[in-house]
Amino acid sequence: MTSYNIILSSESSDLYTSFDTPIHLNPSKTYTMALVNIETYHSFPNVDSSNNQFTYTADNGKLWQTVTIPEGSYEITDLNNLLKASLAAQGHQDVIELQPNLNTLKCVLTIKKLDFAVSFEAARSLRNVLGFGEKIYRYNAQPHEGVNNVNIMNVNSILVHCDVIGGSYVNGQSFPTLFSFFPNVPPGYKIVQSPHNLVYLPVTRHVISDMRVWLTDQNNRPLNLRGETVTVRLHLKE
């Protein structure tokens, strides 16, 4: 019985290979393919250049300044510590506090100084990550709570696609998706995902001279692995 073990590796979430000798499959037979395993690192960020700005004023709006947060994977406590350290370096000690409300799943912002304010009006602000409205938040005796749930985890599922298979649907639309999963390790750790039960999907070509495998999130956005290596192993069989 015809069987091929195919391994692709890249520092991008879009993997491509061409075969020195194309794979010729018997057109009178049916072939299927499954994902055997995928290895990479839990490196995809929830803060990047699209949402990494924290804008504030310490003098009641006379001068607005912005803290730019490095691309990375953050919890609310991480963002709180980073922002407090950045503000302290600018001479603003203990002026804000970010905390999660585990009951409402929202973020709580405490502004501790009378002339201090935070603006989430900029397009690249942290508002969507933290769940705040598109407005300015000023000193208040009571903490401000976000209007939406925290969106700290913007990747809900990782989808592995391959351009030589069919028979798969995503949200009702035909899409060459081999497998979906979410890492069972925290950010920074190695992902080794091996399906317990291999799901074989039909191969749509009888001559395979090249192959593309790519990773996206649940919204079909390319997965940003920040340059980490990803290795995918596939099994093609009759």
Return the H-helix or E-strand segment holding 81: helix 76-89
> Which of 145, 170, 194 corresponds to the end of one domain?
145
* Strand-pair category, 207-216 with 14-24: antiparallel
Q: What is the pLDDT of residues 100-153, one digit of tens each?
A: 999 999 999 999 999 999 999 999 999 999 999 999 999 998 999 999 999 988
pLDDT greater than 90 at residue 80: yes
Q: How far apart are CA 185 and CA 196, in angstroms?
A: 17
Q: What is the pLDDT of residues 152-178, one digit of tens each?
A: 888 999 999 999 999 999 999 999 999
Task: Let me know whether 108 and 160 are in one domain.
Answer: no
Write down the pLDDT at residue 1.
Answer: 78
pLDDT greater than 90 at residue 18: yes
How many structural domains does the chain have?
2
Q: What is the mean pLDDT of residues 84-99?
A: 96
* Domain carrying residue 22: 3-44+155-237
Task: Let me know whether 16 and 73 are in one domain.
Answer: no
